[in-house]
Amino acid sequence: MLSHTEGKKGIRAMKKLVPLVLVICALVLSACSTATAPPAWRASACPDGHWLVANLWSFKSLPAPIQKEVAKMMAMATSRDTRGATNPIAYRGDSVSRTVGALLRKFGVRAPINLDLEIFYRDPRGTAKVVYNLGILPVEAGIGSIRLPEYAGNWIVEAVWPDNFISPIRSGGKNRLWVPPEDWEEGKHCSMNIHGIVP
């Protein structure tokens, strides 16, 4: 049996341990909640959503080196077998937007054109059927944008351009440009630039 003095010492020792125990418990709970919390990076990475930005250019007004690259990309696009806009693989790889787009935005002067582009979501699987008609992307003085619903990286984003454009080229009866899901890099990009060129 403990003496009165020994009992008081034991109580004092326990009181000293209580704050330490509470700190340890708090750290453990914090670690557990951090480990089990669902990742929110995608939602917070683009608080204003995902946007498709259209840029229009006139081929004859471009610097000669860029004209050469554009012509090269157009020739490559012409050689691809899109199977009437049913073969998603054919739309991947080098293109005017992916390869020359940054140069166009840096050195080019946008064409003073007003028009509307038709925007669609297509299923990236199989024959890439249209699943949503997203409406019109209005372009004024060579530039325009549309906010895309949901997460654009789940779909192929299609922009249909007027017939007088030399890029994108004609495919499946219309001048189509496709942005495949991987171009968004799993939510890394909040906007995607696409480019159309008139003669």
Given pLDDT bands bounded at 50, 70 and 90, which one contains residue 83? confident
Residue 97 has pLDDT above 70, yes or no: yes
CB atoms within 10 A of CB 83: 14
For residue 12, the model assigns a pLDDT of 53
For residue 33, the model assigns a pLDDT of 35
Given pLDDT bands bounded at 50, 70 and 90, which one contains residue 13? very low
Paired tokens of 180: 């495949």
For residue 37, the model assigns a pLDDT of 32
Closest to 88 in 3D by CA, of 168, 173, 157, 175: 157
Q: How many helices (H) and strands (E) does the chain have?
A: 4, 8
Percent of the chain with pLDDT over 70: 77
CATH class of 48-198: mainly beta
Given pLDDT bands bounded at 50, 70 and 90, which one contains residue 150? confident
| 127 CB-side CA count, 13 A | 6
For residue 145, the model assigns a pLDDT of 98
User: Is pLDDT larger for residue 33 or for residue 67?
Assistant: 67
Q: Domain ranges in the chain?
A: 4-37, 48-198
Residue 84 has pLDDT above 70, yes or no: yes
Q: What is the mean pLDDT of residues 6-15?
A: 48
For residue 193, the model assigns a pLDDT of 96
For residue 98, the model assigns a pLDDT of 85
DSSP-assigned beta bridge partners for residue 196 = 56
User: Is pLDDT larger for residue 5 or for residue 185?
Assistant: 185
Distance (Å, whole) CA 44 – CA 167: 35
DSSP assigned state of 169: P
Pairing of strands 50-58, 191-198: parallel
Q: What is the mean pLDDT of the chain?
A: 80
Q: In the chain, what are the helix, strand and coil shares in percent, each to the nearest 5?
A: 40, 30, 30
DSSP-assigned beta bridge partners for residue 139 = 115, 144
Residue 42 has pLDDT above 50, yes or no: no
Distance (Å, whole) CA 114 – CA 189: 26
